[in-house]
Structure 1
Amino acid sequence: MDFAALALSPPLLQVLEELDFRTATPIQAQSIPVLLQGRDLVGQARTGSGKTAAFALPLLQKIQLPQRRLQALVLCPTRELCAQVAGEIRRLGRRLPGLQVLVLAGGQPVRPQVNALEKGAHIAVGTPGRILDLLERQALETGRLSTVVLDEADRMLDMGFREDMERILRETPPTRQTVLFSATFPPDIEALSRTFQKEPARVTVVEAEAAPDIQQLRYSCAPEEKTALLLRILRHHQPAAAIVFCNLKATVVELTRALVSARVSADGLQGDMEQSERDNVMAKFRNHSTRILIATDVAGRGIDVEALDAVINFDLPSQPEPYVHRIGRTGRAGRTGLAISLVTPQDERKVEGIEQATGVKLERASPETLPPADAASGGALESEWETLLISAGRKDKMRPGDILGALTGEAGGLKASDIGKIDIHDRHAYVAVSRRVARVALQRLREGRIKGRKYWIERVG
Structure 2
Amino acid sequence: MNPRGRFPPGYGNRGGNGPQNPNPNPNPNFYGRNPNQYAPRGNPMQSQQQSQQYQQQWARRSQMGGGDPGTSDVAKTLQSETVGPSSPDWKAQLKIPPRDTRYKTEDVTATKGNEFEDYFLKRELLMGIYEKGFEQPSPIQEESIPIALTGSDILARAKNGTGKTAAFCIPALEKIDQDNNVIQVVILVPTRELALQTSQVCKELGKHLKVQVMVSTGGTSLKDDIMRLYQPVHLLVGTPGRILDLAKKGVCVLKDCSMLIMDEADKLLSPEFQPTIEQLIHFLPANRQILLFSATFPVTVKDFKDRYLPKPYVINLMDELTLKGITQYYAFVEERQKVHCLNTLFSKLQINQSIIFCNSVNRVELLARKITELGFSCFYIHAKMLQDHRNRVFHDFRNGACRNLVCTDLFTRGIDIQAVNVVINFDFPKNAETYLHRVGRSGRFGHLGLAVNLITYEDRFNLYRIEQELGTEIKQIPPQIDQAIYCR
TM-score grouping bracket, smaller chain normalisation: 0.7 to 0.9
Show the counterpart of 2:313: 201
- Structure with greater strand percent: 1
Does the 8 Å CA contact 1:242/1:308 hold for their aligned counterparts? yes
Counterpart contact for 1:40–1:200, Cα < 8 Å? yes
The Cα of 1:271 is off from its aligned counterpart by: 0.4
Among candidates 229, 248, 255, match of residue 341 of structure 2? 229
Task: Using the aligned pairs only, state the percent identity.
Answer: 35
Partner SS for 1:175: coil
What amino acid is the match of 2:315?
V
Indicate if the aligned counterparts of 2:144 and 2:315 stay in contact, CA closer than 8 A.
yes
What is residue 6 of structure 1 aligned with on the other side? 119
Letter aligned with residue 199 of structure 2: A
Alignment correspondent of 1:267: 379
Q: How many residues align?
A: 368
Deviation at 1:167, TM superposition (A): 0.9
| Counterpart for residue 54 of structure 1 | 167
Shift of 1:147: 0.7
Pairing 1:296-335 to 2, within 5 Å after superposition: 296-332=408-444, 335=447
Change (3 A) 1:302 1:134: same
Q: Which piece of structure 1 moves more, 214-223 or 35-44?
A: 214-223
Say if 2:371 is the partner of 1:247. Answer: no
What is the 5 A alignment of 1:78-227?
Answer: 78-97=191-210, 99-158=211-270, 160-206=272-318, 211-227=323-339
**SS in structure 2 of the partner of residue 165 of structure 1:** helix
1:102/1:123 contact within 8 Å kept: yes
Query: 2:475 corresponds to which residue?
Result: 363
Residues 352-409 of structure 1: per-residue CA shift (max 9 Å, x gap): 122223333222136x889xxxxxxxxxxxxxxxxxxxxxxxxxxxxxxxxxxxxxxx
Q: CA deviation at 1:310?
A: 0.7
Query: Do 2:413 and 2:437's aligned partners in 1 also have CA atoms closer than 8 Å?
Result: no
CA positional deviation for 1:102: 0.3
Cα distance, 1:202 vs structure 2 = 0.6
Residue type at the aligned position of 2:160: T
* Alpha-carbon separation, structure 2, partners of 1:341 and 1:80: 25
Does the CA-based 8 Å contact 2:160-2:323 persist in structure 1? no
Q: Please say if 1:33 is aligned against 2:134.
A: no
Aligned-partner Cα distance in 1 for 2:372–2:449: 25
Deviation at 1:165, TM superposition (A): 0.9
Measure, in 1, the Cα distance between the counterparts of 2:135 and 2:219: 37
Q: Which stretches in structure 2 are left out of the alignment for 5+ residues?
A: 1-113, 482-488
Shift of 1:281: 1.1
Instruction: Please state how far the C-alpha of 1:210 moved relative to its aligned partner.
Output: 11
RMSD (CA atoms): 2.2
Residues 1:66 and 2:179 aligned together: yes
Alignment match, 1:75: 188
Contact (CA 8 Å) 1:43, 1:182: kept in 2 or not? Answer: yes
- For residues 278 and 353 of structure 1, the distance between their equivalents in structure 2, rounded to whole angstroms, comes to 33
| CA distance, structure 2, for counterparts of residue 251 and residue 169 of structure 1 | 38
Pairwise CA distance, 1:151: 1.0
Tell me which of 451, 455, 460 is aligned to 1:348.
460
3-state DSSP class of the match of 2:466? Answer: helix
- Conserved 8 A contact 2:321-2:471: no
Q: Matches of 2:243 and 2:322 in 1, distance apart?
A: 38
Shift of residue 288, structure 1, vs aligned partner: 2.6
Distance 1:14 1:88 in 2: 14
Greater Rg over alpha carbons, structure: 2
Distance in 2, Cα, partners of 1:283 & 1:14: 25
2: CA distance between counterparts of 1:20 and 1:237?
29
User: CA deviation digits over 1:277-298, x for unaligned, max 9?
Assistant: 1122122212332211011112
Seen in structure 2, the aligned counterparts of structure 1 residues 306 and 159 have a Cα distance that, compared at 3 Å, is: farther
Contact 1:46-1:325 at 8 Å conserved across structures: no
Q: 2:403 aligns with which of 271, 285, 291?
A: 291
Q: Which amino acid aligns with 1:356?
A: Q
Aligned partners of 1:80 and 1:302 also within 8 Å: no
> Does 155-164 or 288-297 show the bigger shift?
155-164
Q: Would you say the 8 A contact 1:32–1:54 is kept in 2?
A: yes
Q: Could you tell me how far apart the structure 1 residues matched to 2:162 and 2:320 are?
A: 9
Deviations 1:98-143 (A, max 9, x none): x110001112111111101011200100101111221232221111
User: Which range is displaced more, 325-334 or 189-198?
Assistant: 325-334
In 1, Cα distance between equivalents of 2:129 and 2:360: 40
Q: 1:117 to 1:333 in 2, by over 3 A?
A: closer
Code of the residue aligned with 2:423 in structure 1: it is V
| TM-score calculated relative to the size of structure 1 | 0.75
Which piece of structure 1 moves more, 317-326 or 124-133?
317-326
One-letter amino acid of the structure 1 residue matched with residue 191 of structure 2: T
Contact 2:185/2:235 (<8 A) preserved? yes
Q: Residue type matched to 1:188 in 2?
A: T
**1:269 touches 1:294 (CA, 8 Å); kept in 2?**
yes
Does the Cα contact within 8 Å between 2:331 and 2:476 map onto a contact in 1? yes
Post-superposition shift, 1:158?
Answer: 4.1
1:138 counterpart letter in structure 2: G
Distance in 2, Cα, partners of 1:333 & 1:32: 18
Q: How does the TM-score come out when normalised to structure 2?
A: 0.71
Structure 2: distance between partners of 1:274 and 1:302: 21
Instruction: Give the superposition deviation at 1:334.
Output: 5.5
Matched residue, 2:51: none
